[in-house]
Amino acid sequence: MAKKLMKGCEAIAEAAIRAGCKFFFGYPITPQNDIPEHMAARLPQIGGCFLQAESEVAAINMVYGAAGAGARVMTSSSSCGISLKMEGITFIAGAELPCVIVNMMRGGPGLGSIQASQGDYFQATKGGGHGDYHMIVLAPASVQEASDIMQRAFDLADIYRTPVMLLADGIIGQMMEPVEFHEQESKRELPEKLWATTGWTPDSCRKRAVVNSLYITNEELDTLNQRLQSRYREIQKNEVTVEEYNTENAEFILCAYGTIARICKSAITLLAGEGVKAGLIRPITLWPFPSDTVKKAAEQESVKALLTVEISSGQMLEDVRLAVNGRKETAFLGRPGSYLPSAEEIAQTVLRMRRMHS
């Protein structure tokens, strides 16, 4: 198929439709409005349903309902809107339902700003809502990757019966790049949705399906939590994805995701010009976090230190530190949204670290 010139938001919406998403419920917020806008234009064309809800809370509960009925369903929002959806998300996790949620991050806390940020890493990867649950969190770094990842997002949601979040900074949503929609070659085998509330009759040869996240007895809730935890372990074992760039025998390892990871690659080129070998670890799944990759890279004798770079104030840094576990220095460079660290700034930071290590 010929390439198209698309915004990240448009590409995500179009890729979701190609992945079989037929239902979208959302509420507007900058910088992700192009997602609902594209869905509003396209879903009616394919016999799907777009609905602008009266609020984020309403939208996520519509997602809850559609997911319970076994539909491929999605919602999107940005930072403060995602906070509003959090109750619904933990209910969806508790009811073991698949859905996809896009968070096109803007500045925070509070209403924050409409400029790009990565300030919701903690919220996405460490819960956000209450209870012992996780979401799978995917973090694309380009418009092409954002579109490629949607099929996987919906498949993972169905396979593990869990909400999946696509977490990107506003730049990914707003920037335009040429995109090609690939036919999905390795579509994974998906389990049948026997739990879906599709209408029960006395002659249905199955149990009545009930969507629920309330467990009255200790035993029942414990069983749910054990099941969830064992599923999370399976996800951690099978679904980690990460890009390693130039890490072998590197002196310094940069850790970054999303837009800032691309800027890190430019910094690595600048550093090569200075005779410094630096590499990049770019988590594509933020949860499960690629701890083993970080650990192994850090264990290399050549590595003097790691530098985590974020458009936030040191959130992914905590996961990097847990993985490195004190084996090497783990430095940090970040801007809390609105501004981006430049490639020069990142390179200068590494050069300063190098002087301290020599």
Partner 1 sequence: MTKKIYVFIGNYGSGKTELSLNIAMQSAGVCKTVLVDLDIINPYFRSSERRDMLEGMGVKLISPNFAMTNVDVPSLPPEVHSVFTGAYETVVFDVGGDAAGAVALGQYKRYFDNVPKTNLEVLFVINPRRPLSETPEMALDLLENIKSKSRLDITGLVNNSNLSMETSADDLLDGFEMVKSVSNKTMIPVSYTAGRQDVLNEFLKIAEEKGLDRNYIGKPFPIRTYMHRDWDSFLAHGI
- Contacting residues toward partner 1, per CB under 8 A: 2-7, 10, 14, 30-31, 38, 41-42, 107, 112-116, 170-171, 174-178, 262-263, 266, 338-340, 342-343
Query: What sign has the CA pseudo-torsion 203, 207, 212, 218?
Result: positive
Residue number, 41 or 356, with CB nearest to partner 1:
41
Q: How far is the CB of 254 from partner 1 (least distance, A)?
A: 15
Residue number, 19 or 95, with CB nearest to partner 1:
19
Q: How far is the CB of 286 from partner 1 (least distance, A)?
A: 22
Q: Determine contact, residues 68/196, Cβ cutoff 8 Å.
A: yes
Q: How far is the CB of 32 from partner 1 (least distance, A)?
A: 10
Q: How far is the CB of 289 from partner 1 (least distance, A)?
A: 26
Residue number, 236 or 266, with CB nearest to partner 1:
266
Q: How far is the CB of 263 from partner 1 (least distance, A)?
A: 6
Q: How far is the CB of 157 from partner 1 (least distance, A)?
A: 25
Residue number, 135 or 179, with CB nearest to partner 1:
179
Residue number, 144 or 291, with CB nearest to partner 1:
144
Residue number, 175 or 211, with CB nearest to partner 1:
175
